[in-house]
């Protein structure tokens, strides 16, 4: 359950139109992306937020995709 708290927090911020997600990697990034998609998030807005944090590579396709 403790693993879900950051995801729930991210979704609550998203719903308030205040995306507040810091750079993450690995399974955490996948979990946040899945939660955002499940919450029908505005992925374009999320990508812009990542660019503003200089983390556009967080959602970039991996090599070979």
The residue ranking higher by pLDDT, 4 or 53, is 53
pLDDT of amino acid 61? 52
Q: Is the pLDDT of residue 57 over 60?
A: no
Long-range contacts, 16-25 (Cβ 8 Å, 24+): 19/45, 19/46, 19/49, 21/46, 21/49, 22/53, 23/53, 23/55, 23/58, 24/58, 25/58
pLDDT tier at 1, thresholds 50, 70, 90 = very low
pTM across the whole model: 0.30
Q: How many CB atoms lie within 10 A of CB 52?
A: 10
């Amino acid at each position: 359950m403790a693993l879900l708290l950051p995801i729930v927090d991210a979704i609550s911020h998203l719903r308030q139109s205040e995306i507040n997600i810091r750079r993450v990697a690995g399974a955490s990034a996948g979990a946040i992306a899945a939660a955002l998609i499940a919450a029908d998030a505005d992925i374009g807005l999320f990508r812009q937020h990542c660019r503003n944090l200089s983390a556009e590579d967080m959602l970039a396709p991996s090599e070979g995709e």
